[in-house]
Amino acid sequence: MTKSALDAWFAANRVAILADYYSLLRFPSIGGDPAHLPDCVACAEWVCAFLRPLGFTAELVRGDGSKPPLVLAERPADASGRTVLLYGHYDVQPVDPVDLWETPPFEPAERDGRVHARGAQDDKGQWFALLQGLRAAIENGERLPAIRIVLEGQEESGSGFLAEQALDLRRRLAADVLLVADTGKDASGRPAIVAGLRGVIHFTVTLRGPKYDLHSGQHGGLAPNPAQGIAELVASLHNPDGSIAVKGFCDNIVDPTEAEFALATERGFDENAYRDEVGVFPVGGERGVPAIVRNSFRPTVEVNGIHGGYGGPGSKTVIPTHAFAKLSCRLVPDQSPAHVWQCLKAHFEEHCPRGLTVELTEVTGNEPGFRLPIDSPVTRIAQDVLREVDPRGAVFTWEGASIPIVARLRDVTGAAPLLVGFGMQEDRIHCPNESFSLDQFQDAFRWGGLIFPALA
Ligand code: BES
Ligand code: MN
Ligand code: MN
């Protein structure tokens, strides 16, 4: 199908496409919150019902029913050829702080050409738009590869269930190409083929002190303070130049090849555009290392939240019993999550402030970072298709973010990953007022309409 034929199909079907998109967005499928398990199941069932008329056999994989199910679907090839496995996630991030939403997070609302809702982009909008493109190709009688689909409900909380099931499901997931619909364009809006993702490991570190909250006058100067301690512990993670101070953490890091470095840096990094969009200059991380390199090819240790003691109105003179910080680390090849974890544990024990005890809990993630070849047959097909989607053609990017299950899916299925998505910074994923523009939606639709036939 040509791009203009696809666009005509989109225009003719626009009302129905958006109605289905809105139905999908209305499910509050917050996969990390057990209270929303029934919503996740209902959402996954809705997706199966959506896929069946497209010629898929589709079912839920439920395990013992305690976690959000997988959607597993398959459509036979029109002729013998490649098998494509599409991966995406139907779970979404929590919506808090909910009062910052201009319209309720699960009541999709269009404003200025953008659909606002939790999941409008990440990730429901991305794979749903792509599947609409596939629908157009099917209705137009295009020759298609065998297509398998796996949509999980725990990507935003570590992909535990899919990681657990992947080996058992390997025959049903086996494919030549692993098409991932969960990434972004480049900062200027050009389509991007993602050639690397960072891995992730996250955990909670708690410092415990006095048995009960103490009067800060009666005990000040006597009792060690966990809130002060957590600040010191967090501060100990970095050197004054912004580099990571955890011994051994950065062992085995593989620097980008010359070709990767050249492609990653050739477009430069627009610091003012970054500041205009997010409100701060890109001065985080290690001094003297270019912004792109810090984000794409270097690991990080970030504090996601730090809590302890009194936070209410006015003052309360108290030494709290405990304080904690939630941390996440981004990993690059070849940092092994297990080794990194050993280094972190040793660091926290060594730096635990005197008189307090340190506790590490809620350790999740544990997936490595990876890079992909930039000159494979599959990337060449993708480049040709993306030139049709956008005449400027595609660039390669190395994302700082993570999609924890991709490396494992690649290893289990033997498929070559192809990561193309249409997200932009202004979509504000994970943030109140997440949105996806209908232009981005339509680009994802065109990509879906063109890439499946191209992979047949
Ligand atoms: N879709 C994102 C990852 C992403 C964002 C890729 C932007 C490319 C550009 C994914 O849903 C995500 O948020 N991943 C989490 C995983 C974590 C919760 C284990 C992340 O990176 O923090
Ligand atoms: Mn996502
Ligand atoms: Mn996400």
At residue 442, the pLDDT reads 98
Structure token pair of residue 265: 């840096």
At residue 352, the pLDDT reads 98
Distance CA 275, CA 272 (A): 5
At residue 364, the pLDDT reads 86
Q: Which residue's CA is minimally distant from atom 8 of ligand 1?
A: 183
**Ligand 1: which of 151, 156, 370 to mutate, judged by most atoms within 8 Å of the beta carbon?**
156
Distance (Å) from CA 125 to ligand 1 centroid? 14
Using CA atoms, how far residue 160 sits from 62, 337, 401, 405, 434, in Å, is: 13, 15, 18, 9, 25
Using CA atoms, how far residue 186 sits from 3, 270, 363, 398, 418, in Å, is: 21, 12, 31, 10, 16
Q: How do residues 228-262 score in pLDDT, each as one tens digit?
A: 999 999 999 999 999 999 999 999 999 999 999 99
Q: How do residues 147-172 score in pLDDT, each as one tens digit?
A: 999 999 999 998 999 999 999 999 99
CB 368 less than 6 A from any atom of ligand 1: no
Low-confidence stretches of the chain (pLDDT < 70) are none
For residues 367, 65, 47 and 119, what is the CA-based torsion angle, rounded to 10 degrees? Answer: -50
Q: Which residue's CA is minimally distant from atom 10 of ligand 1?
A: 403
Atom number, ligand 1, closest to the C-alpha of residue 330: 21
**Ligand 1: which of 402, 406, 419, 427 to mutate, judged by most atoms within 8 Å of the beta carbon?**
402
| Helices of type H across 208-366 | 226-235, 258-265, 271-278, 291-296, 337-351
Distance CA 430, CA 36 (A): 17
At residue 325, the pLDDT reads 98
At residue 365, the pLDDT reads 78
For the chain, the domains span 3-197+369-454, 199-253+299-367
Atom number, ligand 1, closest to the C-alpha of residue 184: 9
Distance CA 85, CA 304 (A): 33
Using CA atoms, how far residue 98 sits from 36, 111, 117, 197, 212, in Å, is: 16, 19, 12, 30, 33
Whether omega before 439 lies within 30 degrees of 0, making that bond cis, reads no
Collapsing DSSP to helix, strand or coil, 256 comes out as coil
Collapsing DSSP to helix, strand or coil, 365 comes out as strand
Q: Do domains 3-197+369-454 and 199-253+299-367 have the same CATH topology?
A: no
CB 184 less than 6 A from any atom of ligand 1: yes
Residue with token string 């909380």: 157
Q: How do residues 367-377 score in pLDDT, each as one tens digit?
A: 899 999 999 99
Using CA atoms, how far residue 103 sits from 43, 107, 110, 122, 298, in Å, is: 21, 7, 10, 18, 38
CATH fold group of domain 199-253+299-367: Alpha-Beta Plaits (3.30.70)
428 CB-near residues (< 8 Å, 6+ apart): 434, 435
Distance (Å) from CA 402 to ligand 1 centroid? 5
Q: Are 230 and 308 in contact (CB under 8 A)?
A: yes
The architecture CATH gives domain 3-197+369-454: 3-Layer(aba) Sandwich (3.40)
Beta strands 177-180 and 416-421, pairing class: parallel
